[in-house]
Amino acid sequence: MNSRNSTSVFSLAVIVAALGYFVDIYDLLLFTIVKKASMLGVGATDATILADSTKVINWQMVGLLIGGILWGMLGDKKGRLSVLFGSILLYSVANFVTGYVTTVDHYAYARFVAGIGLAGELGAGITLVSELLPKNKRGIGTSLVAGIGLFGAVFAYFTYQITDDWRLCYKIGGGLGIVLLLLRVSVAESGMFKEVKQTNISRGNVFMFFNNATRFRKYILAILIGLPTWFVIGILVNLVFLKGSPKNYSMFVHILLPFA
């Protein structure tokens, strides 16, 4: 029997990928939750908080963009597990560092590095799950990953409510990443990648996006599908909840729960 056909949607690889997305969302949206307290804690004022917080989130977004391309290329060349280990280690260290920043610039640079690391986690995890599961279970497996992962935002909210310490929240995010890294050690590389690795097929070539019109169109459409969701959660929510009141946080959690 083909090992992929016997792989369960509740296998270790799927569960670990779901927990990886959980940590991913925790880290990605934590800045939204702790924005006001953290910005004031690194020297921003009520007059500059909008510009300074926008600077930090922009640096994180640039990191995500660069990381998405970088880790995608490395994932095809070196394997999915190599990307998972590297990206988790990078954003875990960046989160610990964020817990000690003292200026807006240092905050922005730390989130830039974290963004690079965070970009690799979900892509490599979903790819690994899709390659390990048979085609009739891939939709269920990826839905399970997404459903569990979105609760990372809820966990981030309650973590800040309980600790009331934005620096500790970032350190907890780094600790979660290290725990996740230990869990990843027991996950095997996908057989599909091992098979492709033995061939002479070009892997990790960024120019392949542009040398085929049909492939480039599919790539752009895939990006546009996710654009509205991230625009609302990543941009509008960031601006709406700038005041940081408990009422706004509660609304934030209720917005996310239907998606989960």
Q: What is the pLDDT of residues 56-74, one digit of tens each?
A: 989 998 998 888 888 878 8
Mean of the per-residue pLDDT values of the chain: 79
pLDDT of res. 258: 46
> For the chain, which residues make up each domain, given as ranges?
12-256
Whether 113 shows a pLDDT value over 60: the answer reads yes
* pLDDT (mean) for 84-91: 84
Q: Which pLDDT does position 1 carry in this prediction?
A: 43
pTM (two decimals): 0.78
For residue 99, is pLDDT > 90?
Answer: yes
d(CA 95, CA 87): 12
pLDDT tens digit sequence for 165-200:
999 999 999 999 888 888 776 665 544 545 555 566
Structure confidence by residue, pLDDT tens digits, 215-260: 888 888 888 887 887 777 767 766 665 554 444 545 555 544 444 4
- Into which CATH architecture does domain 12-256 fall? Up-down Bundle (1.20)
